[in-house]
Amino acid sequence: MTRTGPDGADEPALDALTQHWLRQIAALGFLPHKAHARVVLGEQLRLLVAAARAEPFDPAPARQVGAALVAARVAAPGVLGVSLPLLAERLPGLVGGDEPAVRSRIQPLLGRMADGFTAALRDTAMLAAEELNRSERVAWRDEQRRLQGELNQALLHDVVTDLPNRVSLREHLGAVITTARPDARMSVCLLRVDDFADLNDALGHATGDDLLRTIGVRLREVVADLRGASDRYLLAHLGGEQFVVVVSGTTGVDEGIKLSRLAQHAIGNASLPWVDGYQLRLRTTAGIVEDRVAGTTADDWLRNAHIALAWTDADRRPYAVFDPTRAAEDLRRHRLAVAMPAALERGEFQPHFQPLYALADRSLIGVEALARWRRRGTTATLGPQNFITLAEQTGLIRPLGMSQLRQACQRGSGWHAAGHPLLISVNVSALQLSEPGLVATIDDILDQSGLPASALQLEITESTAVDGPDDTLSDLTDRGIQLAIDDFGTGHANLAALSRLPVTTVKLARELVADLSDTDNAAASAVVHRTIQLCHDLNVTVTAEGIETRTQFDTLRALGCDHGQGFLLAPPTSARDITQLLKAIRTSRP
């Protein structure tokens, strides 16, 4: 007796076809859930049988069969290839009835089944592709985040010390400035490891990097030991030998000074590598800025810290605190230094002349040429204290000195031609005196101007007179040019040196003359008197500078000083005024 199911299907025949179908599919590839696949195949056979028997006939439900196979992961390559011939052969027997009529229904059913299978397989593939794409996007985003994190680390941290770098420091300063209260203050301490560049070159960059890492570790320890370090302090490495510590919420410069001392002590006592049996010892200098945060920028703080650090070299101190007044003066000098070359070419530097008198009768015997800078576009005239040092530092002292000498000789020649044989005294720097062609240049100037060599006096400093080239000094005096030691009594020249130097005049320093203002200062008078006597014994003329009081004038004349100059007698003035003075003197003569 044939056993039938609730739907009228022949159960044994249906089970047999299910098993056969399962084996053929399994032969194509691995089925992850074979028992589940068997159930699905049986259910789909029942659905096909029911669809084939249904009245009116509709092949559409067979589409679900193909989709169900794919959903059950019965979707190996070739599934349709084994399924369609098998079902086309065996399915009519399960349906029963008029065989030609049944077979006419089986083909549309199997076609719809194939459509459903391929559509579901396509959808599954698309879903898989989308899932793969999504997974790849997620993985890509994760990789991008990782790479971005590494990039940020590289951009914001120094590769050697792993400390925040200049970019990170600027961001931190900007954040502090932006979020600070109106009355908030901050300190920036810029540390420089002195001579690190030389050590780095001598020992190699590998050892240099080890030094920097060790210094970074020690500075981290210093910052970590300070109270509230996690909130108020930032340690950064600007690169090379420079480190920075930023302290927020300061109340004065003392905290920055204390920090610099702690850092200098830590670096100076760091356990640094041994080289050739010797342990390295490092010295550190610091530039400190402490100020209100409001109205500033990150550039302001870093620039001012570097300015303060530069002052440590000039001051020979382990640290310097930024001073706006000093910085403004430095800026002014820098601008003057930048403007000097063009000003020299335009002839803005011209000599003024200070009269030189014989103290015995107060007669005018000469003038000293003193450089003045009349800046174009201004009414101000700058004295030598504003630019001589800059000229020496920039190398412009040579052309400037020659320009002043040429102009002074030309003026002096004109006065000589007018019947006023004044001594023309001009300062010459050590740099000018060291020029190999100096003597020849002076010869040319005298020839072109027409000034007699005996009317020219060159003033040199004590150190230049003692340490300068003796041959040059002798060549000058051999031509009849007179030599004077300027500011005598303040340097390292001495009276004994005068016996071997070809000088004709000693100019007493202003400091010696100033001491003569006190009539009770017997020691000062004795020093000046003895100096004058010894100079006269060596046939050297004595000139006093800076005579500003009647007491000084009377004392110097009484002590036998030959010549003098100063504001009591006459201040420096223009060549035109000197010409008028000479005319007045000639007119007053009997």
Contacts of 44 (CB under 8 A, 6+ apart): 65, 68, 69
**Which phi-psi region, left, alpha or beta, contains residue 487 (left: φ > 0; alpha: ψ -120 to 50)?**
left
Flag whether 378 is in a domain. yes
- Do both 472 and 534 map to the same domain? yes
Q: What distances in angstroms separate CA 501 from CA 42, 415, 472, 537, one per listed residue?
A: 129, 30, 11, 14
DSSP 181-235: -TT-EEEEEEEEETTHHHHHHHH-HHHHHHHHHHHHHHHHHHHHHSTTHHHHEEE
- Do both 199 and 124 map to the same domain? no
* For helices 166-179 and 99-156, angle between their N-to-C axes, nearest 10 degrees: 90
570: domain CATH number is: 3.20.20.450
pTM of the model: 0.66
Beta-strand relationship, 284-292 and 456-461: unpaired
- Do both 17 and 106 map to the same domain? yes
Flag whether 354 is in a domain. yes
193: domain CATH number is: 3.30.70.270
- Do both 445 and 556 map to the same domain? yes
Compute φ and ψ for 379, nearest 5 degrees.
Answer: -100, 0
> Is the Cβ–Cβ distance between 145 and 93 less than 8 Å?
no
| pLDDT tens, the chain, 590 aa long | 445 554 555 788 888 888 888 888 888 876 767 888 888 888 888 888 888 888 898 988 888 988 888 888 887 778 888 888 888 888 888 888 888 888 888 888 888 988 888 888 888 878 877 877 887 777 777 777 766 655 665 577 888 888 999 999 999 999 999 998 889 999 999 999 888 888 778 778 787 888 888 888 888 888 887 755 557 888 999 988 899 999 998 888 888 888 888 888 887 766 565 555 556 677 889 999 999 999 999 999 999 999 999 999 989 999 999 999 999 999 998 899 999 999 999 999 999 999 999 999 999 999 999 999 998 878 888 999 988 988 988 889 999 999 999 999 999 999 999 999 999 999 998 888 888 889 999 999 999 999 999 999 999 987 777 766 678 888 999 999 999 998 887 655 566 677 778 899 999 989 999 988 877 788 889 989 999 999 999 999 999 999 999 999 999 999 999 999 999 999 999 999 999 999 988 877 65
Contacts of 366 (CB under 8 A, 6+ apart): 355, 356, 422, 423, 424, 425, 457, 563
Contacts of 358 (CB under 8 A, 6+ apart): 365, 562, 563
Domain total in the chain: 3
- Do both 317 and 344 map to the same domain? no
Whole-number Å distance between alpha carbons of 301 and 246: 10
Flag whether 157 is in a domain. no
- Do both 179 and 317 map to the same domain? yes
Flag whether 301 is in a domain. yes
- Do both 269 and 353 map to the same domain? no
Flag whether 183 is in a domain. yes
Q: State the Cα torsion 447-448-450-455 to the nearest 10°.
A: -70
- Do both 415 and 545 map to the same domain? yes
Whole-number Å distance between alpha carbons of 17 and 141: 50
- Do both 347 and 243 map to the same domain? no
Flag whether 153 is in a domain. no
> Is the Cβ–Cβ distance between 415 and 358 less than 8 Å?
no
- Do both 503 and 543 map to the same domain? yes
Provide the residue range defining the domain that includes 268.
166-322
Q: What distances in angstroms separate CA 142 from CA 137, 146, 150, 300, one per listed residue?
A: 8, 6, 12, 39
